[in-house]
Amino acid sequence: MDADHPEMPLQGRFVGREHRLAVRVYFEDTDLSGVVYHANYLRWMERGRSDMLRLAGIDQRAAHGAGEGAYAVSDLAIRYRAPAKLDDALVVASRLITIRPASCRIHQRVIRDGLILADADVTAVFVSPGGRARRQPAAWVEAFEQLVWPGVEQAKPKQGVKAGLTGE
């Protein structure tokens, strides 16, 4: 699990427009049977999205601290395809699919040795401190426009289909 490079930084890295984050399955991530508990995929995907934004130059902490707002997940659809198990080396691959004035949609996959274990479509809305949707900062939209995955909509892979981890 090197995400196409033996030196995967802690925050992951971009390969073309796709962000990749390495994750290891620890005992704490599994249930009694040694299979990863379903909610942990969501935790790993959140880390993937956060690190993708950070590497794209998006400072969520500063925006929140300045009272501008923060992202909130408004829609999430996830499909579990195969189980991850104790000590598996995984990659969380994140692709920005669409950008709108107040939201973005991200497609994410959790992959082991090229096999998609789970994939999700996530819509994150930028909200004011009062919880109302508002426009994202212009600089963020500009950064996102450089990362939107070509072809817009991604086909849903079938269970057991190998994941392409090539750049673009």
Rounded CA separation 152/139 (Å)? 21
Quote the tokens at residue 99.
Answer: 């950008």
Round to the nearest angstrom and report the end-to-end CA distance of the chain. Answer: 19
* Cβ atoms 116, 95 nearer than 8 A: no
- DSSP letter for each residue of 48-117: HHHHHHHHTT--HHHHHHTTS-EEEEEEEEEEE-S--BTT-EEEEEEEEEEE-SSEEEEEEEEEETTEEE
Out of 2, 4, 31, 113, pick the active-site residue. 31
Quote the tokens at residue 155.
Answer: 């086909």
Rounded CA separation 162/111 (Å)? 9
Rounded CA separation 89/116 (Å)? 13
Active site residue 119: no
Positions annotated as catalytic residues are 31
